[in-house]
Amino acid sequence: METKPNNMIARAWALLTKPHPSIREIGEQRRAQLLASLTLILLFGLTLGLLSSPTTPQTFLGFLVVALAAYLLSRTPYHRAGIYFFTFAFASIAYLTIYFGSASSIDSAINIILPFALILASALLSQWGLAILATLALAATLSLPIYADPKYLDDPSLSIVRSAGVTFSMAAILLGINIFRASIERERLKQIGDSNRELEKLTNDLEQRVLNRTTELNQVNSITLRRASQLEAIAELSQAISQVQDPNKIFSAASQLISERFGFYHVGIFLVDRDREFAILQAANSAGGQKMLARRHRLMLGTGVVGFAAQTGKPRIALDVGADAVFFNNPDLPDTRSEIALPMIVSNLTIGVLDVQSIEAGAFSEEDYRALGTLANQLAIAIENARLLTEARASAKQVQEVFNNFIRTEWSRTAQKTEQAGFRYNAGRIELLESPLENSDIASAVDSGNLVSRVANRADAKHATATIPVKLRGEIIGVLHIEASDPSRTWKDDELSLMEAVAERAAFAMENARLFQDARRRAAKERMIAEATSSISGSLNVENILQATAVELERVLGGSEVLIKFSDRNNS
């Protein structure tokens, strides 16, 4: 990317007029930069004038030397010396030309060179520097008859007073402008100073407010972090409770988690016994709590902080200072200074107490109370859910046992009624087994309830065999025995899986068939009962009813002798 010419010129000019690095004050930097800029412009103009003139006036050379020396001083730490040298030397050139007689006239020397020098001095010098230069210039003008070349004294147009007046007027105007500008600058600086002081005051106030706000935010942040930790503990406890089904494990996990997250000295969990006489400690995290667990620590309902919460179902806070001060004298927990007991309630019944103790007096805040109350409620729900789950599992186990007994009884009865011992499929034919099939593989499959497979080329197996128990909801109702026709064949995993799947489907199919046959028998029985009832109900006298009853019973029972006899209780 090409650089624009204007940018290049500006950067070159800034480089040529840059103040010396030792100059730190902004005002002095600007004075040095202004001196360098003015002298550079003057050097450029004088150089053009010298190049354009065939002859070189001595005045131009003097100005050139003065400008060059002042420029070089502007680039050094001595820029102030350069300012005084430049302005005083510039003004002195006018009088030197009159002294040496090189000026065209006194008016041209004083009224042209001197005003320009005073203008430069007003821009570069201080008020005192400008006043000194103006005084010296006025004195030098009034002293012209003493040192001026005699040729200028014979000029009838010469007026020393006029030249002095012009010098005095120019100096007075520039000095007045300088004073006015300085007063404006002082007023501006005063306003800036007042504004800076106000800004400083506002800054101090803002810093104090920021400090106070930061302190408040730190406090709020600390509270927020503690609250977040408590909420995280509640979430972790909820997750842990949802995964643990043993109440004892729930108690241990909850006491450890609450202690770690909340940083309390002791966390204990009590359960109320069935007789509702004692609250028995179930879990604790502290060393003293472990000793209490070892001796089966318990508290009578209504005794102490825990007993009060267990009996009333209301939370209780105890401190060693203040209105609720109590004396903690538990030798297992000697450092306790405050305690909170939160009841665990299920269906308006207190089933236990969450006991939390701290080594600090008044350690429990409102946030702690709410968080621990939430944890107590979750523990109560978890304990009740675990109890219900235990009962449900016990009931389910009993139901399963009853069902298994029913399955075994029904299939034993079915097997007894079935005339065949089993079936064999061989080479496309189905054969009836005359006797039950018995071997070590079948016995092993029945005993273990798992598939038993064998490979060929063994002493007891000429072919690959697979024995699969046919199970119906865990109960073995039969055996599927398969023997490969090819002596070199071995069973693959997918083939064994297929056999197990077929055995499972066969079990369900046989159960459905058995249920269908039972349903048909019940339906036939109900139909015969209904027909017999209808026939008996159609008779209108006792003899006909008895006759119809005998006939129907004989028909239903198939050729049995039916005898109906009235009972005479009085004769007996």
Average confidence score pLDDT of the chain: 76
With bands split at pLDDT 50, 70 and 90, how would you rate the model's confidence at 198? confident
- In the chain the domains, ranked by start, together with CATH numbers, are 263-392 (3.30.450.40), 437-529 (3.30.450.40)
With bands split at pLDDT 50, 70 and 90, how would you rate the model's confidence at 322? very low
Share of the chain above pLDDT 90, in %: 0
Amino acid in position 109: A
Q: How many CA atoms lie within 13 A of 162 on its CB side?
A: 7
The pLDDT of residue 261 is above 70: yes
Specify which of 60-64, 337-341, 506-510 reaches the highest per-range mean pLDDT. Answer: 337-341
Q: How far apart are CA 36 and CA 119, in angstroms?
A: 16
With bands split at pLDDT 50, 70 and 90, how would you rate the model's confidence at 321? very low
Instruction: Confirm if 34 and 42 have CB atoms less than 8 A apart.
Output: no
Strand partners, 472: 475
The pLDDT of residue 539 is above 70: no
Which residues are CB-neighbours of 314 under 8 A, at least 6 positions away? 308, 343
Average pLDDT over residues 338-346: 87
Tell me which of 38 and 548 has the higher pLDDT.
38
In total, the chain counts a number of residues equal to: 572
The pLDDT of residue 555 is above 60: yes
- The pTM (predicted TM-score) of the whole model is 0.43
CA distances from 21 to 10, 24, 61 (A): 20, 7, 31
Average pLDDT over residues 126-139: 83
The pLDDT of residue 156 is above 60: no
Instruction: Confirm if 460 and 452 have CB atoms less than 8 A apart.
Output: no
Q: Provide the pLDDT for residue 1.
A: 42
Q: How far apart are CA 500 and CA 385, in angstroms?
A: 37
Q: Provide the pLDDT for residue 415.
A: 62
Which residues are CB-neighbours of 59 under 8 A, at least 6 positions away? 93, 97, 102, 103
The pLDDT of residue 460 is above 60: no
Q: What is the pLDDT of residues 305-314, one digit of tens each?
A: 888 888 888 8
Give Cα 385 to chain centroid, integer Å: 32
Average pLDDT over residues 530-535: 71
Q: How far apart are CA 158 and CA 505, in angstroms?
A: 142
Q: How far apart are CA 361 and CA 323, in angstroms?
A: 12
Share of the chain above pLDDT 70, in %: 74
Could you count the other beta carbons within 10 Å of the beta carbon of residue 446?
Answer: 14
Instruction: Confirm if 345 and 312 have CB atoms less than 8 A apart.
Output: no
The pLDDT of residue 416 is above 70: no
Average pLDDT over residues 243-267: 76
Which residues are CB-neighbours of 132 under 8 A, at least 6 positions away? none
